[in-house]
Amino acid sequence: MSLETNKAFAAVLTAGISFMVAGLVGGIVVHPQRLEKPAIATGEVVEAAAPAAAPALEPIAPLLASASVEDGRALAGRVCAACHSFNEGGRNAVGPNLYGVVGGPHAHREDFNYSAGMKGLHDKTWDYEALNAFLNKPAAAVPGTRMAFAGLNQTKQRADVIAYLRSLSANPVPLP
Ligand code: HEC
């Protein structure tokens, strides 16, 4: 082979190898991103074979009877009290007072300036599963919400906090 032919051959080889390497690297970079999306959406580890749609949230109702109001109170004191008060007649802050919210309508306080997204759901009741979805991922459950909180991704934490919210009433909504 002449020198020129050799050069041309080497060039073709190099291009081919670069192409393959780019393909491999691309595969490595892109593949885990595909898996991460549903994992972030649900806060749970999703298996590689799982369908693209986010799995449904485990219902919270069956867990409420054994949930801990005390753990919920402590957790709410740590993470929710920055924006909410919980006592009867308590003041609205960054977020609305939450006394009596369970069983009430979305946007349950007349004297709080809710987002349009929350106000638009006013004819919907804050039942246990609505609270479960909202506390899991506020922005996904109520698009446009002004509650700047990522969510509680542990089922037990949501059960405890919802059991605590339920207790904030003279006549708590019956357990399911
Ligand atoms: C960074 C501030 C902030 C934190 C932290 C926060 N919230 Fe909120 N929350 C808000 C705001 C603001 C709203 C009103 C949302 C809207 O209008 O869209 C709200 C609304 C709500 C509502 C609906 C009230 C209604 O009247 O419809 C519930 C229930 C609620 N929050 C529970 C919680 C719980 C439980 C926690 C802790 C796990 C928490 N929030 C943490 C700011 C916060």
Structure tokens at 37: 């999306």
Q: Give the distance from CA 76 to its chain's centroid.
A: 17
Give me the pLDDT at residue 33, please: 46
pLDDT above 60 (res 173): yes
pLDDT of residue 153: 94
Ligand 1 atom at minimum distance from 76 CA: 37
Q: Using CA atoms, how far apart are residues 169 and 176, in angstroms rounded to an integer?
A: 16
Query: Which residues neighbour 70 within 8 Å (Cβ) at sequence distance 6 or greater?
Result: none
| Average pLDDT value for the chain | 85
User: Does residue 21 register a pLDDT over 90?
Assistant: no
With a pLDDT cut of 90, the percent of the chain lying above it is 68
**pLDDT, tens digit, 9 for 90 and up, residues 100-157:** 999 999 999 999 999 999 999 999 999 999 999 999 999 999 999 999 999 999 999 9
Q: Which residues line ligand 1 (CB under 6 A)?
A: 76, 79-80, 82-84, 94-96, 98, 101, 106-109, 114-115, 117-118, 131, 135, 142, 145-149, 152, 161
Tokens at 25, concatenated: 């690297």
Instruction: Name the residue type at position 148.
Output: A
- Mean pLDDT, residues 161-169 taken together: 98
Confidence band for 56, pLDDT divided at 50, 70 and 90 = confident
Banded model confidence at residue 24, pLDDT cuts 50, 70, 90: low
Q: Between 165 and 16, where is the model more confident?
A: 165
Distance separating alpha carbons of residues 147 and 139, to the nearest angstrom: 8
CA of 40 to the centre of ligand 1 (A): 21
